[in-house]
A and B are shown apart, each in its own frame.
Chain A
Amino acid sequence: MNSLVAVAYVPDTETKIRIAADGKSIDESDVKWIVSPYDEYGLEEALKTKEGKGAGAVTVVCVGPERAKTGLRECLARGADDAIWVDSGDSRYLDALATAKAVAAVAKEGKYDFLWFGQKGVGYDESLVGPMVAELMNLPHVGNVVKLEIGDGRITAHREIEGAHELVECSLPAVLTAQKGLNEPRYASLKGIMGAKKKPIAEKKLSAMGIPEADAAGAKTRWRKLDLPPARKACHFVPPDDPAAAGKELVRLLREEAKVI
């Protein structure tokens, strides 16, 4: 059972975001990059599937600039067998449809039973690419997967929705998007890190794939401007010494000043 795992290489959560001079992208100096956390759940599940079956390969793919290769190496170090880098050339915002078309093109060149995505990437936070790939490839998809049971050519995926889990059955091949709770991603061992250096990373160029949305002129979503959120007013502190008085004062403020209760 072969798996293709799509990963996004995004700014680490602790990174302080600064706006670049062009006003529509982030200043990348001092940014630490990581594989998006939700993608790690997808990679881990693919690795577990391969180990469980004792067969199959795990391929990772990332669409991004040169630094994406570092992210791919981290995935190879954890146990992925090979990687594909789709060079997007530069860092500017890429329309999800362009990314999806690139991943679909890569997927069509292999024979994958599972196509894993994170339920969102913590850079653009769009939750679009996985289901778009499913649509482009005319495959069923299950999103927000917190548990996966594999049968004979069929799977049952537990999908997290508001206040409930849906148990979804579908045939393979299928697209799945991983949600927190699916598994605990492993760390790369030293052996894995050394071994990763010998595993292949194939390279493709996004600009050569005939995807109109990859160009600024053909993009179907665009970032016109990037801003920091407006600064919040300083906190109004209520003295804690008399808890009963503090409780009453909070209610008074919420009612009379903030008008929310």
Chain B
Amino acid sequence: MGFDQYHEPPEELPSATRTFARLCASLTEEAEAIGWYEQRLALERDPDAAAVMRDAQGEEFKHFSMDLEMLLRRTPAWRKIAQGVLFQPGDVVERAETVEAEVLEGESGSEGATEDGSLGIRSLRGIER
């Protein structure tokens, strides 16, 4: 088993950062698996085998979404940008540029850093100090 998700000495990283890195690694692996199933499905002629692969790809969609949600919950600025980009109509690049400017220029402002106006502290599991 490798430890490639760390780019800094793991023993110097806080526990919460190590968890964050593991979630990022999981997100990457789920995205890769989705891509692999997409390629296999494009070539598979056997309908029964394709059905199994489609079902498996659905699992990866779920895993990817769970990883992403956990990361967004722990990163208010990322969450705010994602809220402005995901599931929005219109030009994706235009939306992204607008939201990025809003978030980075005024990280919280009078509306607060999170959707509910809170400080976004939530759970601190994994943080000792």
Bound pair (A, B): no
Binding site for B on A (CB under 8 A): none
Binding site for A on B (CB under 8 A): none
